[in-house]
């Protein structure tokens, strides 16, 4: 009932609410009152319930991933539809939804192809920070505020395209399934879809943060018998072992390059290597860690804008495969609601990925926990 009355009170009007605005790089986010315009045709305004803090948000604050500023960050959100613009048919006010940093338009070449998920309407590769019509729905202190990847979830209300939002199981706990907007499908899909890890195989996972932990869980679920975890923060090791890592390596404490140690431990190198850090050097180390004949390396980390990945092509020649994917290759609107239902039905468990919960106004503390390596995933709750 609360949602129904909310829709009638606010639909069609500008909503004033709190949002965390990033005015510039390398500065704390500022909790401000913002104005959120009503949704235009094909758009949906969502009341955010919970949002996860992702490594990519931090890369953006640190200026490593270029996007227009000032911006409202956050792309791992769960919420309730407040109102819809003309022509919207797949969600209605009151629906529980997830929003995705990668849309699924169901019309473009990639959406129509069974193997594709990188929708042509994405705003990831060359971000504009604007809606598809080239305008913004956020204003603060008279200034236009940009969005991030068409999402922006560090706000009490946001406007997203219908193609980036999907109704989910009404029984889903929003403050947990919000991480199914990014971390969970990114990690699970890297393993199940992109690498297709096989039972009895050996794996190495570079980076044991949110994405790396989801990768570890999926490697274990796939029946990998050896899972080597690599991180420079040894505080990550006990949890990683609990999730399925069999051996932990800190590259800073090794006398040889980490790929040589992985090779010695496994004889020829692993079957599957994953990079979930976002550094060129660890991408190359991951590639060299997989066996040279049929090893598969999947890069999930996002490197700084403009950086170049280089290595001797002879590394690939014997047969190695280098791959990547966004959102784990899942078609976001088609596939991710099924993951949510699997969680509700206890077929999969994502609870160990969430180590911290904070009220939304403490967002800068959440980023501090991420930078200091104290948390896997921190979820912000919008409720007072």
- Which of ligand APR, Zn ion, none is residue 108 near (CB under 5 to 8 Å by kind)? Zn ion
Cβ proximity to Zn ion: between 119 and 214 the closer is: 119
- The per-residue b/e assignment along 186-223, b for 16 or more CB within 10 angstroms, e otherwise, is bbbbbbbbbbebeeebbbbbbbbbbbbbbbbbbbbebe
Total of chain residues touching ligand APR, rule CB under 6 A: 28
CA nearest to 21, candidates 40, 37, 35:
35
Residue 48 φ/ψ region, left for φ over 0, alpha for ψ in the -120 to 50 degree band, beta for the rest: beta
Q: Does 105 bind Zn ion (CB under 5 A)?
A: yes
Closest approach of Zn ion to the CB of residue 191, in Å: 24
Q: Does 132 bind ligand APR (CB under 6 A)?
A: no
Q: Does 168 bind ligand APR (CB under 6 A)?
A: no
Q: Does 278 bind ligand APR (CB under 6 A)?
A: yes
Closest approach of ligand APR to the CB of residue 186, in Å: 6
CA nearest to 354, candidates 383, 375, 328, 384:
375
Q: Does 329 bind ligand APR (CB under 6 A)?
A: no
Q: For Zn ion, which residue of 111, 224, 245, 286 counts as binding (CB under 5 A)?
A: 111
- Which of Zn ion, ligand APR, none is residue 331 near (CB under 5 to 8 Å by kind)? none
What is the C-alpha to C-alpha distance for residues 292 and 376, in angstroms, rounded to an integer? 32
Closest approach of ligand APR to the CB of residue 249, in Å: 9
In this structure, are residues 279 and 305 in contact, taking their beta carbons and an 8 Å threshold? no
What is the C-alpha to C-alpha distance for residues 62 and 28, in angstroms, rounded to an integer? 10
Cβ proximity to ligand APR: between 168 and 211 the closer is: 211
CA distances from 39 to 44, 47, 84, 157, 314 (A): 5, 12, 6, 11, 52
Q: For Zn ion, which residue of 119, 215, 327, 379 counts as binding (CB under 5 A)?
A: 119
Closest approach of ligand APR to the CB of residue 281, in Å: 7
- Which of Zn ion, ligand APR, none is residue 119 near (CB under 5 to 8 Å by kind)? Zn ion
Of 2-10, 71-79, 295-303, 328-336, the window that binds ligand APR (rule: CB under 6 A) is 295-303
Report the site for ligand APR in 38-57 (rule: CB under 6 A).
54-56
Q: Does 299 bind ligand APR (CB under 6 A)?
A: no
Cβ proximity to Zn ion: between 111 and 370 the closer is: 111
Report the site for ligand APR in 72-131 (rule: CB under 6 A).
none
Q: For ligand APR, which residue of 339, 370, 378, 380 counts as binding (CB under 6 A)?
A: 370
Are β-strands 247-249 and 226-230 bridged in parallel, bridged antiparallel, or unpaired? parallel
Of 32-40, 82-90, 221-229, 270-278, the window that binds ligand APR (rule: CB under 6 A) is 270-278
In this structure, are residues 79 and 100 in contact, taking their beta carbons and an 8 Å threshold? no
What is the C-alpha to C-alpha distance for residues 354 and 378, in angstroms, rounded to an integer? 6
Name the residue with the smallest CB distance to ligand APR.
209
Query: Got the DSSP string for 105-136?
Result: -SSSHHHHSTT----TT--SSS---S-TTS--
The verdict on whether omega for the bond into residue 354 sits within 30 degrees of 0, i.e. cis, is no
Q: Does 301 bind ligand APR (CB under 6 A)?
A: yes
Cβ proximity to ligand APR: between 10 and 51 the closer is: 51
CA nearest to 32, candidates 89, 72, 74:
72
Residue 118 is encoded by which pair of tokens? 């990188």
What is the C-alpha to C-alpha distance for residues 375 and 174, in angstroms, rounded to an integer? 19
Q: Does 302 bind ligand APR (CB under 6 A)?
A: yes
Report the site for ligand APR in 202-231 (rule: CB under 6 A).
206-212, 230-231
Contacts with ligand APR, residue ranges (CB under 6 A): 54-56, 59, 186, 206-212, 230-233, 236, 251, 276-279, 282, 300-302, 370, 373
């Amino acid at each position: 009932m609360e949602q129904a009355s909310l829709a009638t009170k606010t639909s069609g009007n500008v909503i004033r609410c709190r949002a965390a605005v990033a005015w510039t790089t390398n500065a704390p986010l500022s909790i401000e009152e913002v104005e959120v315009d009503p949704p235009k045709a094909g758009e949906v305004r969502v009341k955010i319930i919970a949002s996860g803090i992702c490594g990519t948000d931090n890369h953006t604050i640190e200026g490593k991933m270029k996007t227009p500023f000032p911006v409202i960050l956050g792309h791992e959100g769960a919420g309730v539809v407040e109102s819809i613009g003309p022509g919207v048919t797949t969600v209605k006010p009151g629906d529980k939804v997830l929003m995705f940093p990668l849309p699924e338009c169901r019309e473009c070449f990639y959406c129509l192809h069974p193997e594709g998920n990188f929708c042509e309407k994405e705003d990831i590769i060359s971000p504009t920070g604007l809606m598809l019509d080239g305008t913004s729905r956020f204003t603060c202190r008279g200034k236009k505020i940009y969005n991030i990847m068409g999402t922006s979830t560090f706000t009490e209300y946001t406007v997203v395209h219908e193609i980036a939002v999907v109704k989910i199981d009404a029984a889903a706990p929003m403050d947990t399934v919000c991480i199914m907007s990014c971390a969970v499908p990114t990690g699970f899909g890297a393993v199940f879809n992109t690498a297709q890890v096989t039972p009895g195989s050996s794996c190495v996972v570079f980076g044991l943060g949110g994405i790396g932990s989801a990768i570890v869980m999926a490697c274990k679920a796939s029946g990998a018998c050896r899972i080597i975890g690599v991180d420079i923060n040894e505080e990550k090791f006990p949890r990683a072992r609990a999730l399925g890592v069999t051996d932990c390596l800190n590259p800073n404490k090794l006398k040889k390059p980490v790929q040589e140690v992985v090779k010695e431990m496994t004889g020829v190198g692993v079957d599957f290597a994953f990079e979930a850090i976002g550094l060129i050097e660890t991408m190359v180390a991951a590639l060299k860690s997989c066996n040279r004949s049929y090893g598969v390396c999947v890069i999930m980390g996002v490197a700084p804008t403009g950086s170049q990945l280089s290595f001797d092509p002879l590394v690939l020649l014997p047969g190695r495969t280098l791959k990547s994917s966004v959102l784990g290759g899942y078609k976001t609107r088609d596939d991710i609601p099924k993951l949510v239902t699997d969680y509700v039905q206890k077929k999969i468990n994502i609870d160990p990925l969430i180590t911290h919960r904070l009220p939304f106004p403490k967002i800068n503390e959440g980023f501090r926990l991420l930078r200091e390596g104290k948390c896997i995933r921190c979820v912000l709750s919008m409720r007072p």
